[in-house]
């Protein structure tokens, strides 16, 4: 039998599979860059200066990113990397929406004291889906933390500050095991009810799989009626599942994803072995190769990652960045090899 006749059914099946696999993806996604906050918060050294952070934020802006976490107003003794967050205000480059974490009323007051441009800045608040992680991360019961954040959000909205919400441990908790989707749903609905315009679902210890991610989104969207437009995905890569989980969430209609250049990050309270966030480079590659627009220039993004790696004196964790940098190095060396 001719080879072309053997290949024809395979080609037809491939075309059918490709159409089915990508038909449910959004046409574009918004990437929220978290490396300057969530990425740095777990690192004790070296402490980056304000000028170093600003240079990095300028490089991120040059890549086309439109939503960037710049810092957090937390106790500097607890998270020393965030001590100069206030000095960033007023010097941020034009273009992106800049987000700052404010874990309590004191943090909101510190944010407002720096006279932020409310058209280009927002705050973020976070709660835990599990009681155990709330006690270890926030030092208070889950219901008490939710009530406290409710007051922070209320006062923020009174001053026209936009608020983004986070829920951590949405798949499983290292201290209590698998998380009941109903607990996640309760937290999401409360944050949206307070006035958060969007809630990011955090697989904080990277325990999720496409199956558990789809099950959670089915519960939130199909069973509870939460609008998928109000949800974002925040996946850590502890078990190498982050990209697969992003794909699953995107196929379920989620169109906003948090990422960290170079895979930088990791919650300091998530337990032993918890790895960093999914690398933003991987997200850009994943989506652009499937025809989903990100608006991000991957070469400039990789350059930002190289700059940060130099500051921290550590290699980034992005496989895409390594592959593209290796390819570029080989191309540059080819003429020499021919000599």
- For residue 154, give the 3-state DSSP assignment: helix
* pLDDT band, very low/low/confident/very high, at 18 (cuts 50, 70, 90): very low
Count of CA atoms in the C-beta half-sphere (13 A) of 331 = 6
Mean pLDDT of 256-264: 96
Whole-number pLDDT of residue 43: 87
* Contact call for residues 156 and 108 (beta carbons, < 8 A): yes
Whole-number pLDDT of residue 275: 62
The yes-or-no verdict on residue 330 having pLDDT over 70 is no
Whole-number pLDDT of residue 6: 34
- C-alpha to C-alpha distance for 86 and 50, rounded to whole angstroms: 9
Number of H helices, E strands in the chain: 12, 10
* pLDDT band, very low/low/confident/very high, at 329 (cuts 50, 70, 90): low
Could you give the dihedral angle defined by the CA atoms of residues 133, 136, 137 and 141, in that order, rounded to the nearest 10 degrees?
Answer: 70
Model confidence over 58-73: pLDDT tens digits?
A: 999 999 999 999 999 9
Whole-number pLDDT of residue 109: 97
* pLDDT band, very low/low/confident/very high, at 328 (cuts 50, 70, 90): low
> Going by C-beta distance under 8 Å and a sequence separation of 6 or more, which residues neighbour residue 240?
none
Q: Which carries the bigger pLDDT value, residue 13 or residue 283?
A: 283
Model confidence over 86-107: pLDDT tens digits?
A: 999 989 999 999 999 999 999 9
The residue assigned the tokens 């889950």 is 142
Would you state the structure tokens that stand for residue 327, as one six-digit string? Answer: 């390819």
* pLDDT band, very low/low/confident/very high, at 338 (cuts 50, 70, 90): very low
Whole-number pLDDT of residue 176: 92
Q: Which carries the bigger pLDDT value, residue 141 or residue 339?
A: 141
Whole-number pLDDT of residue 172: 96
Q: What is the pTM of this model?
A: 0.89
How many Cβ atoms from other residues are within 10 Å of residue 32's Cβ?
Answer: 26
Domains in the chain, start-ordered, CATH in brackets?
Answer: 25-338 (3.20.20.70)
Model confidence over 165-220: pLDDT tens digits?
A: 999 999 999 999 999 999 999 999 999 999 999 999 999 999 999 999 999 999 99
State percent of the chain over pLDDT 90: 79
Q: Which long-range contacts (CB under 8 A, 24 or more apart) does 270-276 make?
A: 270/133, 270/174, 270/204, 270/205, 270/236, 271/174, 271/175, 271/205, 273/238, 274/174, 274/204, 274/205, 274/206, 274/236, 274/238, 275/206, 275/236, 275/237, 275/238, 275/317, 276/39, 276/236, 276/237, 276/317
Model confidence over 293-320: pLDDT tens digits?
A: 999 999 999 999 999 999 999 888 899 9
* pLDDT band, very low/low/confident/very high, at 159 (cuts 50, 70, 90): very high
Candidates 68, 169, 267, 284; catalytic one: 267
267 is catalytic: yes
Nearest alpha carbon to residue 142 among 100, 101, 180: 180
């Amino acid at each position: 039998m001719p080879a072309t006749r053997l290949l024809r059914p395979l080609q037809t099946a491939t075309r059918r599979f490709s159409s089915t696999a990508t038909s449910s993806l959004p046409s574009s996604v918004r990437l929220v860059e978290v490396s300057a906050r969530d990425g740095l918060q777990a690192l004790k050294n070296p402490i980056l200066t304000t000028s170093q952070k600003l240079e990095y934020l300028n490089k991120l802006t040059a890549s086309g990113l439109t939503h960037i976490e710049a810092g957090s107003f937390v106790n500097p003794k607890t998270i020393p990397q965030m001590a100069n967050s206030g000095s960033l205000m007023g010097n941020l480059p034009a273009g992106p929406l800049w987000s700052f974490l404010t874990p309590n009323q004191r943090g909101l007051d510190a944010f407002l004291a720096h006279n932020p441009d409310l058209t280009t800045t927002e705050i973020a608040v976070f709660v835990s889906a599990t009681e155990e992680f709330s006690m270890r991360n926030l030092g208070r019961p889950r219901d008490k933390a939710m009530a406290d954040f409710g007051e922070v959000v209320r006062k923020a909205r009174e001053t026209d500050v936009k608020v983004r919400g986070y829920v951590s441990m949405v798949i499983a908790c290292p201290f209590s095991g698998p998380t009941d989707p109903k607990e996640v749903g309760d937290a999401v609905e409360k944050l949206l009810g307070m006035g958060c315009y969007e809630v990011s679902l955090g697989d904080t210890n990277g325990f999720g799989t496409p199956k558990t991610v789809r099950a959670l989104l089915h519960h939130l969207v199909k069973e509870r009626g939460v609008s998928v437009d109000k949800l974002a995905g925040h996946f850590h890569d502890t078990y190498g599942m982050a990209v697969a989980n992003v794909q699953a969430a995107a196929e379920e209609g989620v169109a906003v994803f948090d990422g960290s250049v170079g895979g930088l990050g990791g919650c300091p309270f998530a337990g032993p072995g918890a790895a960093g966030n999914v690398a933003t480079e991987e997200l850009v590659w994943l989506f652009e190769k499937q025809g989903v627009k990100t608006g991000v220039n991957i070469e400039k993004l990789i350059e930002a990652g190289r700059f940060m790696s130099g500051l921290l004196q550590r290699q980034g964790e992005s496989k895409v960045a390594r592959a593209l940098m290796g390819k570029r190095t080989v191309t540059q060396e080819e003429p020499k090899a021919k000599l």
